[in-house]
Amino acid sequence: MRRRIITSLLLGFIVLGIVLYLYGRSIWVPPYRSIMGKRSVQEVVSLYGPAAESRTLRFFQAAGAPYPPAAISMIALKEERRLELWAHDGSTWRPVKTYKIKAASGKPGPKLREGDLQVPEGIYRIEGLNPNSSYHLSIKLNYPNKFDVEHAKLDGRTDLGGDIFIHGKDVSIGCLAMGDEAIEELFVLVSRIGIENVTVIIAPRDFRRNNNVEPRRDLPSWVSELYTIIHQGLLSYKL
């Protein structure tokens, strides 16, 4: 009996440890970083840049796109669970690489409030790079943007949430988890060209293949306007 209790406790601690490691990174990683020392963006680029750029460069060459490009766009498609990387060659946009989105919590539909676990939908800019992320590396989006704030006011919503990132690992709580190798490539690329030269479009599905932009009936009426904006934004990126 005692052995069973000890075995059950050990299994419980193991399961708890796994859960904490995967889903509690925001709890234990910050103190770990404080002990081990925080990294700068340049340190991270020096560490991961050579291997990441070697991988990325092959795709740019195959696409006939210059490296580093003048500007890039990342198109995240929730339903298809993929993120497309596009580069501007000075005259047009060229598809460079497609990444699998390893995790994205929530369902189709925009983020409305703190704690709804939704990945936002819309056209976003980059606010900054986080070399000390709890999820390896991360790229912060400017959610809520102007559209999000204006329509929240119309709805009477005040707690919109924030801290939305594209990051590493394969766990998501309202963010786009891309895995460590992918985020290294994207992080280094963004650092090379500057955050002001990056656009991120997050769509519920690929409106280029399906022109039906009508949202679910349970979503606010303004989501139709949002999906029309996203659809128009996607027209510059023709596969």
* Active-site amino acid positions: 167, 175
Percentages of the chain per state (helix, strand, coil), in multiples of 5: 40, 20, 40
The answer to whether the CB of 83 falls within 8 A of the CB of 63 is no
Task: Write the CB contacts of 174 (distance below 8 Å, at least 6 apart in sequence).
Answer: 105, 106, 111, 116, 117, 118, 119, 161, 164
Task: Write the CB contacts of 111 (distance below 8 Å, at least 6 apart in sequence).
Answer: 118, 119, 120, 121, 143, 144, 148, 160, 161, 164, 174
